[in-house]
């Protein structure tokens, strides 16, 4: 896990800041368009960030590669995170985040120059679970990609050592009962330090992310957010997906454990299930990034062929 392939200084895409409303709260968003777009309408990708994710943190290389492939890419900040409005800050609710993703999708569909029939969901980590949920609810979309996805919160909870799990519970309950400002703990840390994630090179990923966004990352999450993890089990929606979906996991992931054999038992022909030799954070960085983005671009090329065949059948 060495470097990001692209930094904000060497991007070729044309980025425009914008925003949308979700549940009465303004959410910051950015539309990244290909530098030399020739078609009147273009396919698009909606990116759904992970647990503590904000725009440009770890995703710059992905949206640069996707725009070079001819896609418009939309990134956004969830309510209460990054440049979005919302109080209290840095509280995570899986249900609210899926609602934010749904509002972002509606906004993206309304943008000029976007082909609403060729929108692809892209979610990573906790956002990978959101991509699965939204894919199950939106059969009109072209496809979905879930990278190192959080599909079973209970599996993630079971991977946490018991003493740390008990400490999470104490902090979460104190946060829920305490009036006023939330009790915060770090999102990520070095191994062994107390945070919501200290495994799989999380601390090193934070350092590289700060280089990507060009500022210090607000490394805090409300302790009550830990209560949302266990009940969150989006794998239950995999059977309902009716659009081509790539599930790309990491075999050494201890943050969001990925078990191919279990997922294949869903037996949904719309799912493509594969994994790479990596931990949870390595797919964002070289050298793992090259193999991951290659698989995702190949999947997107296949969606273009699928769409062309569908158009031909309709016109016949």
HEC assignment per residue over 122-169: EEECHHHHHHHHHHHHCCCCCEEEEECCCCCHHHHHHCCCHHHHHHHH
In this predicted structure, what is the pLDDT of residue 10? 83
3-class state of residue 206 by DSSP: helix
Which CATH class name applies to 8-159+231-315?
A: alpha beta
Cα 104 to Cα 60: distance, rounded to the nearest angstrom: 19
Sorted by where each begins, the domain ranges of the chain are 8-159+231-315
From first to last of the 316 residues of the chain, give the pLDDT tens digit: 778 888 777 899 999 999 999 999 999 999 999 998 777 899 999 999 999 999 988 999 999 999 999 999 999 999 999 999 999 999 999 999 999 999 999 999 999 999 999 999 999 999 999 999 999 999 999 999 999 999 999 999 999 999 999 999 999 999 999 999 999 999 999 999 999 999 999 999 998 888 777 788 999 999 999 999 999 999 999 999 999 999 999 999 999 999 999 999 999 999 999 999 999 999 999 999 999 999 999 999 999 766 555 555 455 4
Burial of 40 (0-12, 13-18, 19+ CB in 10 A): exposed
Cα 145 to Cα 163: distance, rounded to the nearest angstrom: 35
pTM for the complete prediction?
0.94
Cα 187 to Cα 220: distance, rounded to the nearest angstrom: 5
Structure tokens at 94: 């899986």
Cα 210 to Cα 81: distance, rounded to the nearest angstrom: 15
3-class state of residue 283 by DSSP: helix
Cα 286 to Cα 284: distance, rounded to the nearest angstrom: 7
């Amino acid at each position: 896990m060495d470097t990001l392939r692209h930094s904000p200084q060497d991007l070729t895409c044309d980025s425009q800041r914008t925003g949308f409303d979700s549940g009465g709260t303004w959410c910051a968003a950015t539309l990244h368009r290909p530098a030399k777009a020739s078609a009147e309408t273009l396919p698009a990708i909606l990116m759904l960030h992970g647990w503590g994710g904000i725009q440009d943190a770890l995703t710059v290389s992905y949206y640069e590669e996707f725009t070079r492939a001819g896609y418009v890419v939309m990134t956004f900040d969830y309510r209460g995170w990054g440049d979005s409005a919302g109080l209290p800050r840095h509280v995570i609710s899986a249900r609210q985040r899926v609602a934010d993703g749904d509002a972002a999708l509606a906004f993206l569909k309304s943008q000029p120059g976007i082909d609403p029939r060729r929108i692809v969901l892209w979610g990573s980590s906790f956002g990978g679970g959101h991509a699965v949920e939204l894919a199950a609810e939106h059969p009109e979309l072209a496809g979905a990609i879930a990278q190192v996805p959080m599909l079973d919160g209970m599996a993630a909870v079971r991977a946490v050592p018991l003493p740390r799990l008990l400490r999470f519970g104490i902090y979460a309950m104190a946060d829920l009962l305490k009036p006023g400002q939330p009790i915060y703990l770090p999102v990520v840390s070095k191994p062994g330090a107390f945070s919501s994630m200290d495994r799989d090179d999380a601390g090193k990923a934070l350092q590289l992310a700060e280089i990507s966004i060009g500022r210090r990352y607000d490394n805090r999450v409300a302790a009550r957010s830990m209560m949302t993890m266990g009940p969150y089990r989006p794998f239950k929606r995999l059977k309902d997906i009716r659009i081509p979906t790539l599930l790309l996991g990491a075999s050494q992931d201890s943050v969001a454990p990925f078990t191919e054999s279990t997922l294949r038992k869903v037996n949904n022909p719309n799912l493509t299930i594969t994994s790479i030799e990596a931990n949870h954070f390595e797919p964002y960085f070289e050298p793992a990034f090259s193999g991951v983005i290659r698989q995702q671009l190949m999947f997107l090329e296949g969606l273009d062929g699928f769409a062309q065949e569908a158009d031909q059948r309709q016109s016949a």
